[in-house]
Amino acid sequence: MNLIKEIQKTALVTGAASGLGFELAMLLARDGYQLVLVDVNDKKLQKAKEDILSLYSSEIQLMHKDLSQQNVAEEIFQAIEGKRIDVLVNNAGFGIYGTFHETNWERQAEMLNLHVITTTHLTKLVLKGMVVRGHGKILNISSLAAFQPGPLMSLYYASKAYILSFSEAIANELKDTGVTVTCLCPGQTKTCFQDVVTNGSKASENKIKFNIACPKAVAEYGYEAMRKGKIVAIPGNINKLLSKLPRFVSRRTATAVIRRIQEKNREV
């Protein structure tokens, strides 16, 4: 008889109520993780828990938190004090469409706080324990947007570039510690992202239907990359090619192409 009880693995997922966050939570539950699921939408979060438990047996803690607000990373960390986090998935995010000088600053500041401050702070808080224990995995969700400037979504593209650069840098720092950092950079994915970007306007659905991925497939790709400790994961050959666009044309041309795509996607 084995008297040594196996320590239960725990994963923390932000933006877990829908889209990639929900699909990643499903994969973690499938593999036996206890879950801490965080989202701003309490109703969808409850539904996500029900859907996961209908398929897998998992201990699930829900946190209704707005990750765009100040000091929320500390609140989350205090709420899970005593839990060993083996996997951290920083997935929560949103975008804002419009010219930089015309869009609402309060909303822009919330997006930057979510993508940059909360993501960085939560990573720092969880990472220390991982390094002490000598193992752990972090999956940061960036975007194909990280590889070039994005007119009409300037701060979104810039903040996603931050996530990519930050992830690559700390992945290098963590070499030989037993802790890995993976940055998933998907292209267009069929989630509720467009609704959030455009506030549910008539332009909330992409007009360019080419190369739109299924969130389940993207999540599976990112999850496998995380398991293997891959640093940058770009799902799809077309997206891999597009990520290299600035290498083949001038940044000015690449920026103009991105602007045209943004305008075309949101034509009413």
Q: Which active-site residues does the annotation give?
A: 156, 160
DSSP, collapsed to helix, strand or coil, labels residue 175 as coil
Residues 171/180, Cβ–Cβ less than 8 Å:
yes
Sheet containing strand 87-90, strands side by side:
60-64, 34-39, 10-14, 87-90, 136-141, 179-184, 232-233
Q: What Rg value do the Cα atoms of the chain yield, rounded?
A: 18
From the list 148, 12, 6, the residue with the least C-alpha distance to 75 is 12
Structure tokens at 203: 């332009």
- Determine the residue type at 250: S
Contact, 92 vs 114, CB < 8 A?
yes
Inter-axis angle of helices 19-30 and 215-228, to 10 degrees?
50
The CB-based long-range contact list for 157-162 (8 Å cut-off, 24+ gap) reads: 157/258, 159/111, 159/112, 159/115, 159/116, 160/115, 160/185, 162/115, 162/116
HSE (CB half, 13 Å, CA atoms) of 138? 29
Count the Cβ atoms, other than its own, within 10 Å of residue 84: 15
